[in-house]
Structure 1
């Protein structure tokens, strides 16, 4: 495999995130050399100097290597620094796929890693022995562009053609969906082929219904198209939905250029979706048709799974560009599934974000969820509000998952989508009932884990710093944690209920530290204005600062970003070092309930101190529930 011999570089640190592999400012680089030289700057300048100045071919890393955001720049930077193998105990699932698409072999097999560590020069077959055949073939072609070009030209055949015709067996929801989709494409190409009964580990080619992207990554799609496909595309532009959200407020010339490309696309294709206000995963779900298959350039696109029957494939810019060039061809390796059965009701002094962090603490602090598809349902799930369901799906990446789909109908989600969107237009209750009946897994299907979570067991917690996997119950804090600032933030933590809870708590007690608010969804702002929440918060303007735009904001290190030396409590999902601002800072995470009470104390509260605001929390929940049921705002 290595005629020149093994030349290893080691970063044996667990949980290195893509924010540390590629800083948010570096995702704006489009020239290959700048991408190469940006590798691991977010970890340390010293490590960056060593890795970019050397002549390496194997990268050794710790567990959960590449967790977090989907940014493919990290995998590309590894490839451009000459690495042909990355060996780690485990990988972030999207990052692992990005490595393969860039032609880098991900090795997790312990025996192979030990042999490499001992200097043994292993061959390709040994290094890829545990990879599905489809992924091996991508690597044979040196990455995804060569492989999909070969399929589009008929040099290679669809991988599902070579999957044996198995006897029927009990399938998970995901296996059922992919079997149907893969067989459809197979028969379009080879009409006489029989149905395929697929299982976890099979690699197939699909053709999604929609391709969802956003500002800065669209410029990388254009770069890949120019490099490999002469900038030619072969997908109906109406199937390409772009949003201007991640870098909306940026004045960086590179961001301005990226945004201009999005705006040029909208101008050339005015009949497609135009996402010019709001973070994409907050706005787009209102317009998705039930049962759609989506390929999306972001890890937060897991949230699409709350829409009835919607199946989402999170991916990087290379598969996105390859799909646009080849008529939509998109590779997919079926993951193992985890059944997440949610029951019960939240205690009145908690919210769903507390429950999410409780799930991480009790079930997903290690590797249990890594690379899995989550099939979410249960009587408790069916009673969640639209906003609560959104947060559960949004957090699947933090569970370690690669995607999620709802398998039980949630009446609140369905009602919200009918009131505020267009995607369910023409869909009757009977239509949705038939859809969900097709989604049910078959009795006896094989799951990695079947997990039941009782919301009634939820306790208030605080999370961090620098990782979402260090979850501490408030009643177990060994010492007080004092904060400089609160951030109510972005797609995972600026819902209408988050704002209502904050306003009600601050109505009872004044804040003692500053609060920055970044609303992700313009519809949330309209509701908050009509309910008087914005007015109530602005009355505290000495302490509360409300951003005007609807962007990722501090969650992406922009806007009210975290400054050097600050200790901040935020309501978003991720707190990896450097993600939200200066590397020499500390970011903790919490629910809006914990954050609001913290604002009145300047430190993390006790469980009892939160209970003192139980009536305020209940008023906020009742106010938001009534507003949603009445549909005070209708969005077309």
Structure 2
């Protein structure tokens, strides 16, 4: 009798060339994509050279995206980018994205059709789990694993246990995928899914757009998960249409698959949610926030820098002004998103409201550049982490929220519900 498997287990088994895998099993799998950025790839290149390799395993299956400190903020970041640029050109890496082509990697990779259903993807960046939104197994690895992956096209994994999240109900007007994942992390904690697969299902999925799903999958690592993954449906297939010539491989969890836990979540009951310093699990609903004045608002990142995010922010900011003394910084996720936002008139709305619009970059999310916080300053951000010193000074504070809450907060100068300004 055939043993039941989760969606993640089926993808891993197919890439390991075996019929069945179970939680805890060690396997070696074939990779569909190996990804790196300007911070992690130089170390991976050293591992690549230490292996005495002369070429990458497949020049179409390696992607290098300089996004963390680019445009280069200092000499060190310029040297990093020079290193990866020379490597990519020498090894004829097809998917190397220079400034002008680049975007925030986890927005750019799906946009370019480089992640599709059924893929196994590793990236030397913890938020590589984003592509689970497309029904792929994708996870972050260390730079050495990336280097080995570039040489061999393989990686080893311990098959993760899975947690099943059954999503029901339709989210309210100002509730987005960001609120859903903050609610979940607040419920299970930052280690609530440690080395597990977060698998989403339920009739509520029909109310989640692809941008919502990217946000939810992106923050799986904030619950300690190995990966987050969504089933493939019409929205998934519509998203990848025209982006790739590769055939998607659709895997479905068996009905009797084994899960370590099962949670049922009624999204109609979720309120806009804010994560207080200094952990993503430290959540409060918008009516519990109290008086939290902010100095800076950041809308963007690999979590919330997509078109839907910018449209929501613009709908709130239109015809209004950012409060005097508040800095509003907006980061479109890719050049294509930037261009579309410009064509839709969103950029004008942001600038007229008193915000600034940056080139696509990770920028302030990791305390990189273009929005560092000083001592004692507070930011509300649509980013994914709010650890001590994450966005600058160790004595600064970061509050995580949705684009709707962030935009409203920029107008008032403190964290508020969008309803307060609409």
User: What's the TM-score, normalizing by structure 2?
Assistant: 0.91
Distance in structure 2 (CA, Å) of the matches to 1:368 and 1:359: 9
Q: Is the 8 A contact 2:213 2:230 kept in 1?
A: no
Among 548, 551, 554, which residue is 2:364 paired with?
554
Distance in structure 2 (CA, Å) of the matches to 1:563 and 1:318: 34
Query: Who is 1:476 aligned against?
Result: 288
- Determine if the alignment matches structure 1 residue 517 to structure 2 residue 325: no
Distance in structure 2 (CA, Å) of the matches to 1:404 and 1:355: 13
Query: Who is 1:148 aligned against?
Result: none
Mark the CA change 1:511 to 1:173 in structure 2 (over 3 Å): closer, same or farther: same
1:89-120 superposed Cα distances (whole Å, 9 cap, x missing partner): xxxxxxxxxxxxxxxxxxxxxxxxxxxxxxxx
Q: Is the 8 A contact 1:222 1:231 kept in 2?
A: no
Distance in structure 2 (CA, Å) of the matches to 1:231 and 1:612: 59
Shift in Å, 1:521: 1.6
Mark the CA change 1:526 to 1:269 in structure 2 (over 3 Å): closer, same or farther: same
1:585-626 superposed Cα distances (whole Å, 9 cap, x missing partner): 111111111112212221122x5xx3355xx6xxxxxxxxxx
Shift in Å, 1:481: 1.1
Q: Is the 8 A contact 1:466 1:587 kept in 2?
A: yes
Q: Is the 8 A contact 2:190 2:222 kept in 1?
A: no
Tell which has more relative contact order, 1 or 2 (C-alpha 8 A, sep 6+): 2
Among 214, 221, 227, which residue is 2:37 paired with?
214
Among 438, 442, 462, which residue is 2:274 paired with?
462
Query: Who is 1:272 aligned against?
Result: 94
Contiguous gaps of at least 5 residues in structure 1: 1-166, 185-194, 617-636
- Determine if the alignment matches structure 1 residue 170 to structure 2 residue 8: no
Distance in structure 2 (CA, Å) of the matches to 1:578 and 1:503: 29
Query: Who is 1:320 aligned against?
Result: 146
Shift in Å, 1:231: 5.1
Q: In proportion to residue count, which structure has more helix?
A: 1
Among 367, 378, 381, which residue is 2:205 paired with?
381
Runs of 4+ in 1 over 3 A off after TM superposition: 230-234
Query: Who is 1:372 aligned against?
Result: 196
1:564-603 superposed Cα distances (whole Å, 9 cap, x missing partner): 2211111111111122111121111111111122122211
Query: Who is 1:12 aligned against?
Result: none
Distance in structure 1 (CA, Å) of the matches to 2:308 and 2:156: 38
The structure with the largest alpha-carbon Rg is 1
Q: Is the 8 A contact 2:37 2:67 kept in 1?
A: yes
Shift in Å, 1:539: 1.6
Distance in structure 1 (CA, Å) of the matches to 2:306 and 2:15: 34
Distance in structure 2 (CA, Å) of the matches to 1:467 and 1:254: 29
Partner SS state of residue 237, structure 1: coil
Partner SS state of residue 350, structure 1: coil
Distance in structure 1 (CA, Å) of the matches to 2:210 and 2:6: 25
Shift in Å, 1:333: 0.4
Contiguous gaps of at least 5 residues in structure 2: none
Among 129, 136, 148, which residue is 1:302 paired with?
129
Shift in Å, 1:317: 0.8
Q: How many matched pairs?
A: 414
Q: CA RMSD in A?
A: 2.2
Mark the CA change 1:236 to 1:500 in structure 2 (over 3 Å): closer, same or farther: closer
